[in-house]
């Protein structure tokens, strides 16, 4: 039985990826310090599987890493990082320092594993932010896009820089690596500080149909449902075509305005409220859409779940597990 380590495994992508890997016959170790991941019923249920091991570990501590983690992993998915705009704005130095140290520690640890098949590094779509701001960036955006940085004094730049540097570290490590850049992955258990569950909550609790506030209504996005995202990750990790590559993780179509996302949310919830168009969110790009042609050509798969279906599945989970308890 092949064995996988997922750092930040208690998080949104980590848990869904674990469940998919279990279906594929893998054993999975989940490493997390629970500074962000939640040890909820969903995680406990998954951790009860005989092929899952939940490890509470501080990946900043090299001694803890060597003492608690095994040496026989076939694949490592490094998802652990400080993320979220609020965290980035409050502690940019810690974002740079900790995200880099987390990755360096895991790369050094990975070098001690003799038969590691792949080290999967979670980068970000934010690596394109500087190019979008300063140049005429192609949209949909391919991975070959030259990367530029935003103002180095801006706290928000810290997260993007930590991921650009992270990609460079992985590429220079000598390990069998694949870097992936997630774009608007959504689905059950992703928390409420994301646009899809946030809109679902607003619409669900608007009992008087006062209206659904949608910020940046003209800004266009594409969305990738979590089931599709973890399939892409699995295929990228197990496909030799992706060895040494950097790929986009997401969905190229449909690219729709946020007001249309709001309308889908209202229809999903069964609300007759109207869309209330708000101002554009500061720092929000007018368009964000990955070119998925490289990823699709390498793995032979592209996202399949329609946005309406994905939002419906997401709402069903939140309604049962979160909204009904508030």
Instruction: State the residue for tokens 């870097």.
Output: 179
pLDDT of residue 281: 87
Asked, for residue 173, whether it belongs to a domain, the answer is: yes
- For residue 151, the tally of other CB atoms under 10 A from its CB is 10
Identify which of 251, 240, 324, 321 has the alpha carbon closest to the alpha carbon of residue 43.
321
Asked, for residue 317, whether it belongs to a domain, the answer is: no
Confidence band (pLDDT; 50, 70, 90) for 101?
very high
Rounded to the nearest angstrom, the gap between the alpha carbon of residue 323 and the centroid of all alpha carbons in its chain is: 23
Confidence band (pLDDT; 50, 70, 90) for 121?
very high
Taking all residues of the chain, what is their mean pLDDT, rounded to a whole number? Answer: 96
Asked, for residue 196, whether it belongs to a domain, the answer is: no
Q: Hey, what are 66's tokens?
A: 């060597």
Asked, for residue 310, whether it belongs to a domain, the answer is: no
Q: What is the pLDDT of residues 30-75, one digit of tens each?
A: 999 987 767 899 999 999 999 999 999 999 999 999 999 999 999 9
Identify which of 183, 186, 182 has the alpha carbon closest to the alpha carbon of residue 264.
186
pLDDT of residue 285: 86
Asked, for residue 255, whether it belongs to a domain, the answer is: no
DSSP classification of residue 274 = P
Asked, for residue 15, whether it belongs to a domain, the answer is: yes
Q: How many structural domains comprise the chain?
A: 1
Q: What is the pLDDT of residues 176-217, one digit of tens each?
A: 999 999 999 999 999 998 999 999 999 999 999 999 999 999
Q: Which residues pair with 246 in a beta bridge?
A: 179
Q: Which residue range forms the structural domain that includes residue 237?
A: 3-187+226-250+289-305
Task: Kindly calculate the radius of gyration of the chain based on its CA atoms and give it in whole angstroms.
Answer: 19
Asked, for residue 194, whether it belongs to a domain, the answer is: no
Q: What is the CATH number of the domain that holds 92?
A: 3.40.50.720
Element (H, E) at 163: helix 157-172
Asked, for residue 278, whether it belongs to a domain, the answer is: no
């Amino acid at each position: 039985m092949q064995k996988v380590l997922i750092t930040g495994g208690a998080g949104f992508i980590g848990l869904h990826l674990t469940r998919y890997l279990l279906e594929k016959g893998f054993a999975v170790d989940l490493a997390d310090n629970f500074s962000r991941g939640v040890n909820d019923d969903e995680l406990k249920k998954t951790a009860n599987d005989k092929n899952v091991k939940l490890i509470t570990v501080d990946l900043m501590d090299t001694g803890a890493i060597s003492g608690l983690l095994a040496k026989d992993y076939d694949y490592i998915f490094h998802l652990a990082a400080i993320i979220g705009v609020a965290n980035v704005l409050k502690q940019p130095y810690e974002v740079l320092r900790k995200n880099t140290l987390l990755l360096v520690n895991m790369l050094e640890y990975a070098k001690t594993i003799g038969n590691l098949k792949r080290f999967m590094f979670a980068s970000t779509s934010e690596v394109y932010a500087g190019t979008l701001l300063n140049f005429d960036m192609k949209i949909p955006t391919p991975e070959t896009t030259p990367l530029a940085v935003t103002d180095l004094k801006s706290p928000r730049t810290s997260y993007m820089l930590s991921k650009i540097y992270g990609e460079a570290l992985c590429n220079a490590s000598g390990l069998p690596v694949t870097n992936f850049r997630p774009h608007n992955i959504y689905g059950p258990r992703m928390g409420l500080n994301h646009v899809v569950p946030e809109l679902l909550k607003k619409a669900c609790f608007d009992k008087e149909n006062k209206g659904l506030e949608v910020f940046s209504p003209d800004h266009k996005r594409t969305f990738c449902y979590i089931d599709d995202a973890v399939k892409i990750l699995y295929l990228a990790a197990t496909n030799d075509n992706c060895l040494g590559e950097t790929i986009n993780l997401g969905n190229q179509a449909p690219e729709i305005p946020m007001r249309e996302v709001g309308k889908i949310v209202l229809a999903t919830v069964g609300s007759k409220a109207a869309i209330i168009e708000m101002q554009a969110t500061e720092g929000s790009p007018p368009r964000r859409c990955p070119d998925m042609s490289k990823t699709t050509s390498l793995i032979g798969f592209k996202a399949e779940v329609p946005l309406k279906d994905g939002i419906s599945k997401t709402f069903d989970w939140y309604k049962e597990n979160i909204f009904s308890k508030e």
